[in-house]
Amino acid sequence: MRYPGTENVLLPPRVVVTLANLPHRDENVIRRDDGKPYADRHREGGGQIKTAWKATLRRARLDPELTPHDLRHTWATWHYAVHKDLLLLKVEGDWSSVTLVERYAHLMPAGYADAIQQFLGHAVVTQPREIARN
């Protein structure tokens, strides 16, 4: 089953390599402090991601105010800065209309595409396991 907000996006090479080198990469990536995966309660009761997310931010020494929604907005803004294609962004971000994604077209000034591609590793990965093995 697919839940709203669980869209799949292509990952930059440096993210694929990082995830591929985790000791438990074939299972849940976000885990409790004791290394065990968080229980999947199938969205009953709400808040399942909150504890896992906050603990992950703490262990990674990232800003505790960072949210998955922030990451989605950053991804969308960078995607548009690199590709300049609202229809592609709509499809890959699983938005229902181009109108909803138009807000990302003006968030970043022109000229950042090269810096974003360099940060991301020059290309997106469509076959992450193959790239990670290499």
Q: pTM for the complete prediction?
A: 0.65
Q: What whole-number distance in Å separates Cα of residue 51 and Cα of residue 132? A: 29
Reported as a pLDDT band with limits 50, 70 and 90, residue 65 is very high
Q: Is the pLDDT of residue 30 over 60?
A: yes
Give me the pLDDT at residue 43, please.
Answer: 64
Mean predicted lDDT score pLDDT of the chain: 75
Domain boundaries, the chain: 13-133
5-18 average pLDDT score:
66
Q: φ and ψ at 12, to 5 degrees? A: -70, 150
Task: Say whether 53 sits in a helix, a strand or coil.
Answer: helix
Q: Is the pLDDT of residue 84 over 60?
A: yes
Task: Say whether 97 sits in a helix, a strand or coil.
Answer: coil
SS3 content of the chain, % helix, strand, coil (to 5): 50, 5, 45
List helix spans (H) across 39-112: 48-59, 68-83, 86-93, 98-101
Q: Is the pLDDT of residue 1 over 50?
A: no
The pair of structure tokens assigned to 17 is 């390599």
Integer angstrom CA distances of residue 125 from 12, 14, 40, 50, 130: 6, 10, 28, 28, 9
DSSP H or E segment with residue 13: helix 13-20
**pLDDT per position as a tens digit, 97-115:** 988 888 877 777 778 888 8
